Amino acid sequence: MQASNNPEKFVPRGAIAFFALLVVLGLIIWFGIYFLMLSRI
Amino acid sequence: MIDKFERNVIIAALLLSGLFIFSLFYALGARKADVTECLPYDKSYETARVNQIDKTTYQIFYVARMWSFEPAITYIPVGSEVDLFLTSQDVVHGFDIYNKNVNLMGVPGGVAKTTVRFDQPGVYKVVCHEFCGTGHQNMQAEIIVNYPKK
């Protein structure tokens, strides 16, 4: 697959996917600790 | 004109921040999570004691020092609601009840207070989790909640 040379149509799919994965990882860690602490009340 | 990717990231960040803030208020309101308080210091907090307010309401005044907590062992019934007060007589100590949502700092000249409810019988270990010297690893106490079950 050849990368597009047209900068107007460039979509940073890899960066978007990586960002989304980081957000999901952050959510898992944050809510993992959150529900663990709620269960200990 | 803002870039569409930048706009989407800003919207996602705002939505996530809103979710986190809503979750915090849910824990504080609907689930009644307690927030640790710092009380004005008074010499009377340096006397370790347990007060029974009614059948299932207690106050425990903990005093931390190198390297023990006083009272070291406390017996309370199942379903008790306990107000914990903590101060230190020497250096900064930690106060963590295993498997409970309690994490206090014992600071000399300061008083930390929180409220915790014990609905399950058992032996709840309290440990110091702030390094306080050579005997730090032995610094612990126990809250015994109607154990063995009667």
Which pLDDT belongs to residue B32?
83
Residues B57 and B92 in one domain: yes
Token pair 């270990």: residue: B125
Q: Check B101 against A31: CB less than 8 A apart.
A: no
Summarised one tens digit per residue, pLDDT across range B83-111 is: 999 999 999 999 999 989 899 999 999 99
In a domain? residue B58: yes
**The total number of structural domains that make up chain B:** 2
- Claim to verify: residue B89 and residue B128 sit in the same structural domain: yes
> Mean of the pLDDT values across residues A21-40?
93
Say whether residue B4 is in contact with chain A using an 8 A CB cutoff.
no
pLDDT recorded at residue B34: 85
The answer to the question of residue B113 being in a domain is yes
CA distance A35 to B60: 27
At B72, list the tokens.
């070291």
CATH code, domain with B67? 2.60.40.420
Q: State the complex-level ipTM.
A: 0.72
Same domain, B104 and B67: yes
pLDDT block averages, 10 residues each, chain B of length 150 = 87 93 92 87 92 92 94 92 94 93 92 92 94 93 80
Chain B's closest residue to A10, CA to CA, is B5
**Is B83 within the bounds of a domain?**
yes
Tokens encoding B124: 């709840």
| B118 part of a folded domain | yes
Q: Are residues B3 and B71 in the same domain?
A: no
Same domain, B68 and B135: yes
Mind telling me how many Å the CA of B139 is from chain A's nearest CA?
A: 22
B12 chain-A contacts, CB cut-off 8 A = 23
**Of chain B residues 39-98, which have a CB less than 8 A from chain A?**
none
User: Is the domain of B45 the same as that of B29?
Assistant: no
Residues B27 and B45 in one domain: no
Q: Tell me the residue range of the domain where B100 lies.
A: 37-145
> What pLDDT score was predicted for residue B148?
65
Same domain, B41 and B13: no
pLDDT band for A1, please (50, 70, 90 cuts). low
Q: Of all helices (H) and strands (E), which one includes residue B18?
A: helix B4-29
Cis ω before B71 (30° cut-off from 0): yes
Helix, strand, coil shares, percent, chain A, to 5: 75, 0, 25
Is B150 domain-assigned? no
Say if B134 falls within a structural domain: yes
- Nearest-CA residue of chain A relative to B32? A41
pLDDT digits (tens, 9 = 90+) for A3-27: 556 767 788 889 889 989 999 999 9
- Number of CB pairs, chain A paired with chain B, less than 8 A apart: 26
In this prediction, residue B129 carries a pLDDT of 94
Does residue B22 sit in the same domain as residue B46?
no
Residue B55 lies in a domain: yes
Closest CA to B84 of B36, B33, B27, B47: B36
Asked if B79 and B117 sit in the same domain, the reply is yes
Q: Looking at the complex, does the CB of residue A7 fall below 8 Å from at least one CB of chain B?
A: no
Let me know whether B85 and B121 are in one domain. yes
Give CA–CA dist B125/B96, Å, rounded. 8
Q: How high is the pLDDT of residue A4?
A: 57
Q: What pLDDT is stored for residue A2 in this prediction?
A: 56
Q: Which residues contact B37 (CB under 8 A, 6 or more apart)?
A: B112, B113, B114
pLDDT of residue B68: 94
Q: Do both B58 and B28 map to the same domain?
A: no
